Amino acid sequence: MVIYSRWIGLFILVVLATIIATRKEPWSRKIKYVIPFIEGMIGGLVVDSIGVNAGYYYFPRQPLYSLEYFGIVVPCWGVFGLFVHCLWEWVGKDKIWRCILVTILPLFAFYEGSNLITHSWVYTVDFYIVALGWMPLVLVAAGCNRRRRVVHKIDAMIIKLDRSVSWQNGLVVGLVFVRAIMTIVMFPLLFSYLSEYIMRYAQMRKHSIGAGSYLREMLLMR
């Protein structure tokens, strides 16, 4: 029997939806879980646009931007975004380093391990590059507000590192790259931020917050 990643993604979605539905919190608060799903789809589309077009990997059955891609791959990215969000919130308790430990290694093993069976995507680069790519991938999928805290943490780490030391300078380069990817992926969220500003226009004007400064802050373009 052939196993496809879409069925694995559907299974994960059903499990997460069941857990969310049975959690003891008002339904008005449960709606928040839709946001990481949408962000996962947007972030995944941007990641694929970079990775596939750069030749790092490809989808043999769902070519990039095809109808099958938008119908199968993009929703699976949404499930991934929701999965990461739930692990960060429920297991990692929003402690950044704990969250990284409980997401990167388990998710890397699960998704890459299952892909050895499904062959849903094929890499054209060395394995160590694939492994390194999971750090920005998980951080990007961590959710908008949480991502802002992660970027601020990265900025603090960059300041503390000594660039005169070769290995620390290499780490700085890696952290700058991760921060750049996370910032780029936030640009498709510009319209959602702009919509929020319009809905809260009266409050924003009361506090003398202009649309430009608000969007720059939300997109981390400080």
| Residue 30 shares a structural domain with residue 58 | yes
- Same domain for 42 and 135, yes or no, is yes
Indicate if 12 and 99 belong to the same structural domain: yes
Query: Do 112 and 99 share a domain, yes or no?
Result: yes
Cβ contact 147:186 at 8 Å: yes
Residue 172: CA count within 13 A, CB half-sphere: 13
Domain carrying residue 166: 144-222
CA distance 120 to 152: 34
Same domain? 158 vs 135: no
C-beta separation of 37 from 106 below 8 A: no
Residues 2 and 101 in one domain: yes
pLDDT at 202: 74
End position of a domain, from candidates 142, 171, 191: 142
Do 124 and 186 lie in one domain? The reply is no
Query: For the stretch 5-41, what's the b/e string if a residue is b when 16 or more beta carbons lie within 10 angstroms of its beta carbon?
Result: bbebbeebbeebeeeeeeeeeeeeeeeebebbbebbb
**Entry pTM:** 0.69
* Domain stops at, among 142, 159, 192: 142
The answer on 149 and 133 residing in a single domain is no
Q: Give residue 94's pLDDT.
A: 64
HSE, CB side, 13 Å, CA atoms: give it for residue 93: 1
* Averaged pLDDT in 10-residue chunks for the chain of 222 residues: 75 92 83 82 84 92 93 92 87 74 87 90 91 77 62 81 83 80 60 62 73 59 39
**Number of compact structural domains in the chain:** 2
56 and 166 assigned to the same domain: no
* pLDDT score recorded for residue 195: 60
Which of 96, 125, 142 is the C-terminal boundary of a domain? 142
pLDDT of res. 221: 40
Q: Dig out the tokens for 212 from the structure.
A: 């430009």
| Same domain, yes or no: 137 and 166 | no
Q: What is the pLDDT of residue 73?
A: 93
Angle at 42 between CA 37 and CA 48, to 5 degrees: 120
Q: What is the pLDDT of residue 77?
A: 92
Per-residue pLDDT, 167: 84
Looking at the fold, whether 24 and 113 belong to one and the same domain comes out as yes
pLDDT of residue 222: 38
